[in-house]
Amino acid sequence: MEVTGRSAESLEILARALHVKNAELEPTLEAIASTAVTMLSPARYAGLTILSRGELIPRATTGEPPLLLDRLQQRLGDGPCISAAKHQAVFRIEDTLQDPRWPEFNAEAARLKVRSMLCVPLWIDERGLGALSLYADQAAAFSDLHERVTVLLATFAALALADAQRAEQMHDALSNRDVIGQAKGILMQRHGIAADAAFGVLSRVSQAENMKLAEIARRFVRTGQLPSVSGPKTAGAMR
């Protein structure tokens, strides 16, 4: 699909692809990657690298080469996609057989028949979210116009991704609250203690085990058992 003269159609494709049910994260990421290939004809593959807790994680790809190359970058701690995400700048490789940057990455890309790349950062409110990367099997496949359209795509993608992440965080928070409530209820019924005391038991076990409170609660609800470290101290606290 050519970029020139097709802006309206491209934006319609993008809007429809990113309109995912309940802003769920995985469908959003998959829609971003597939739409990039649909919109930009030189792109053979696309991949999304997401910044999560300080690490750059490959999350959605079309085709096998992006996934393999994302894993390589993750192992090396460097590469064009990682550089785009970390430095919030566009990186373009005209020819993997000639570009002197990232030699190990370029060698593997060429072996996988990836000859040129375009890596664009995803960011919103000065917060880096990751990078959108396009892969072509021809050298110098991406023009300045392709870059501008990809930057526009990345802007819409970042907005959709931020919404999906907020929805996922809210869902996780509600899920954690529910499971903590269940664990408290079990302790209250089993030992005849108040809600505050039950929460205190879970908090002490969480600190002793160096695990998140929600994970302790989830394990307790599933097994009916708290770690042995909480035995005498917990019993004393509940009396």
Parent domain of 99: 7-164
- Better pLDDT: 12 or 69: 69
- pLDDT for residue 185 is more than 60: yes
**Do 223 and 157 sit in the same domain of this protein?**
no
Tell me the per-residue pLDDT of 43-53, one tens digit each, with 9 for 90 and over.
999 998 887 77
Tell me the per-residue pLDDT of 70-116, one tens digit each, with 9 for 90 and over.
999 989 989 999 999 989 999 999 999 999 999 999 999 999 999 99
- pLDDT for residue 172 is more than 70: yes
Q: How many domains does the chain have?
A: 2
- pLDDT for residue 228 is more than 70: no
CA distance 238 to 231: 11
CA distance 113 to 97: 10
The region, left, alpha or beta by phi > 0 then psi within -120 to 50, assigned to residue 61 is beta
- pLDDT for residue 188 is more than 80: yes
**Do 157 and 174 sit in the same domain of this protein?**
no
Least confident piece of the model among 33-37, 65-69, 114-118, 194-198 = 33-37
Question: What CATH number corresponds to the domain at position 203?
Answer: 1.10.10
**Do 136 and 25 sit in the same domain of this protein?**
yes
**Do 121 and 175 sit in the same domain of this protein?**
no
Residue 1 in any domain: the answer is no
Cβ density class 133-167: b for 16+ within 10 Å, e for less? bbbbeeeebbeeebbebbebbbebbbebbbbbbeb
- pLDDT for residue 129 is more than 90: no
Question: What CATH number corresponds to the domain at position 34?
Answer: 3.30.450.40
pTM above 0.85, yes or no: no
